[in-house]
């Protein structure tokens, strides 16, 4: 049982260390501005300090934290006449890793990553945040649904639509050529 200020501070510190980088990255994807993402991350944790998580069996902690961050973002956007930032200022900040020893493959991976990131930035926010939360932040569909406040089926259809849009945008980089319609067994 956590009681008193010391306990609350320990709990807060655990939460902060666990989530601050994820929340910053998530907000950076949402608002596409480094300094704003920094401010909103801090604001998110101020809210967490003020209103610490209460035990509730039906509410996963991770989705709860992301939801607070998203609310902070929406609140800011409503109040600030939100402007999106154009691409180009984010390439250097990724923690992406290309640890393949082959420089050719590393280069190809880097190019593909850049193409995917660029395409992701061009996706409408509705679809982008599903991909960021689910495929990059590894939130389960139920968690994404809780963060966005929509049914799980809606998350699924947005995800499918997002991948379809990405596929069109990435036609040159990722080349899934149409296959023959035959689906005969190929087990050899």
> Scanning residues 60 to 119, which ones bind another protein (CB under 8 A)?
60-62, 90, 93-98, 109, 112-113, 115-117
CB-wise, 10 or 74, nearer to another protein? 10
The interface with another protein within residues 3-22 (CB under 8 A) comprises: 3-5, 7-9, 11-17, 20-22
Between 78 and 168, whose beta carbon lies closer to another protein?
Answer: 168
28 token code pair: 């950076």
Contacts of 15 (CB under 8 A, 6+ apart): 45, 48, 53, 65
Nearer to another protein by Cβ, of 4 and 79: the residue is: 4
Q: Count the residues of the shown chain that bind another protein, applying the rule CB under 8 A.
A: 88
Which phi and psi (to 5°) does residue 45 adopt? Answer: -75, -25
Q: Counting contacts by CB under 8 A, is residue 186 touching another protein?
A: yes
For position 153 contacting another protein by CB under 8 A, the verdict is: no
Phi, psi of 60 (to 5 degrees): -65, 140
Decide: is 127 part of the binding site for another protein (CB under 8 A): no
Cα 127 to Cα 45, 169, 185: the distances in Å are: 26, 14, 36
Residue owning tokens 């850049």: 114
């Amino acid at each position: 049982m956590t009681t008193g200020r010391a306990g609350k501070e320990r709990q807060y510190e655990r939460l902060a260390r666990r989530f601050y980088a994820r929340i910053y990255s998530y907000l950076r994807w949402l608002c596409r501005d480094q300094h704003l993402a920094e401010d909103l991350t801090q604001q998110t944790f101020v809210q967490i300090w003020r209103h610490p998580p209460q035990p509730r069996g039906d509410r996963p902690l991770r989705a709860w934290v992301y939801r607070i961050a998203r609310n902070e973002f929406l609140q800011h956007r409503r109040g600030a006449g939100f402007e999106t930032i154009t691409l180009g200022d984010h390439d250097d900040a990724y923690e992406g890793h290309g640890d393949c020893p082959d420089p050719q493959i590393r280069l190809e991976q880097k190019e593909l990553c850049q193409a995917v990131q660029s395409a992701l930035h061009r996706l409408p926010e509705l679809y982008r945040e599903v991909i960021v939360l689910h495929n990059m932040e590894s939130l389960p569909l139920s968690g994404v649904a809780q963060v966005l406040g929509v049914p799980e089926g809606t998350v699924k259809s947005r995800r499918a639509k997002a991948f379809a849009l990405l596929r069109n945008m990435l036609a040159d980089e990722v080349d899934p050529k149409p296959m023959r319609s035959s689906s005969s067994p190929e087990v050899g």
